[in-house]
Amino acid sequence: MKNALQWKLWNLPFFDARHEEIESRMTVWRQNFPALEADIASLTLDEQCRAIARALGASGLLAYAVPDTGQGEIVDVRSVSAIREALAYDSALVDFVFAMQGIGSAAIWRHGSSAMQATYLDGVRRGTRIAAFAMSEPDGSSDVASLSTIARREGEHYVIDGVKTWISNGGIADQYIVIARTEDVPGSKGLSALLVDADTPGLSIESRIDIISPHPLATLRFNGCRVSAERLLGEPGAGFKLAMGTLDIFRTSVGAAAVGIARRALNETLDRVRSRKIFGVQMSDMDTVRMKIADMTLDLEAAAMLVYRAAWLKDTTDKPVTREVALAKLGATEAAQRVVDSAVQLFGGTGVTVGSVIERLYRDVRPMRIYEGASEIQKLIIGKRMLS
């Protein structure tokens, strides 16, 4: 297989014997991926995502992102991160589908009732139901505490009014975890989480959003959307804590996906400089090129260490790891941006040619510094933790 992943968990000190199956599963997935890619090439983006979800479910990979808590399973962040690194190496879209099934269902498998879990999670785990997490708003994407979508209690129901935007899987999801204000108190204390089916009256797709790294994204409008009070996840007013708990699990794996993209960019660049001559000299023999490759390698390896240290701490300790998670997300996504940008420079015009691998990686890596907490937000988290 061209540009082998060259990916061994055992190069890092954070894994144990139970993670061996991840390598074997990912080897099988990557061997089968070209056939899946060919099968879905002619489909629309929405159809591709549904087909990918079904394939991930059939492979058993989604079980790592959507654990069966009824059977005593828990999410293993090292496994999720390793899977995302390998998936992103080949396809940011596949990585997106995998991650969103976990993010969009985490509140259910962490805080949902037994009835909710029995009704929703099996389909998400098999990839036959698409999950989504609706938190961001037009004026409050990073400032979660300022969210203004209201869910007012009326008897045995909540009635939701407001707008959510930048919602991944918006427009194709079968269900949404919605963070809304249920209590008339300032800041984050009045937020709660509600499970809303996509076909609930009063919920509509206001618009779809196109971005440089294509995936389903939309603005949702809630207009008198009535849901049963039994759809509350966790306690009233616990929505902020629930949302942050979800992000603490999956922010680390964003860094892992960035590492996967950076690793692909580096491997593509190694192939390029070994096969290209400039002014009669092999690029790989140029000192300036070798130094650039060294910088790319340093960024990549340091990012991987940050990511898997955070994942290991999350899996093995009960202590807060918010700082380490923020370091992993910030460090890996910023490093991956530098690696891919260097790859573009070394590829020259080919690196910015639409349809080339490096051009695609450049588009795929850029949004990672924004979603699930922009780099600036991660810096605020880290600085606050260090000074507290």
Alpha helices in the chain, H assignment, sequence order: 20-40, 45-59, 62-65, 77-90, 92-103, 106-111, 114-126, 239-275, 287-316, 322-347, 357-365, 375-387
Token pair for residue 155? 């008897």
Distance CA 334, CA 25 (A): 29
Q: Which long-range contacts (CB under 8 A, 24 or more apart) does 27-35 make?
A: 28/59, 29/59, 29/61, 29/86, 29/87, 30/1, 30/5, 30/86, 30/90, 31/1, 32/59, 33/90, 33/91, 33/94
> What DSSP designation does 387 have?
H
Q: How many CA atoms lie within 13 A of 381 on its CB side?
A: 22
Q: Which residues are catalytic?
A: 372
Using the structure block, give the residue that is written with the tokens 């910030």. Answer: 330
Q: Within 13 Å, how many C-alpha atoms sit on residue 217's CB side?
A: 15
For tokens 């509140």, the residue is 107
Q: Is the dihedral of CA 336, 337, 340, 346 positive or negative?
A: negative
Distance CA 371, CA 352 (A): 24
Site of tokens 């709660």: 192
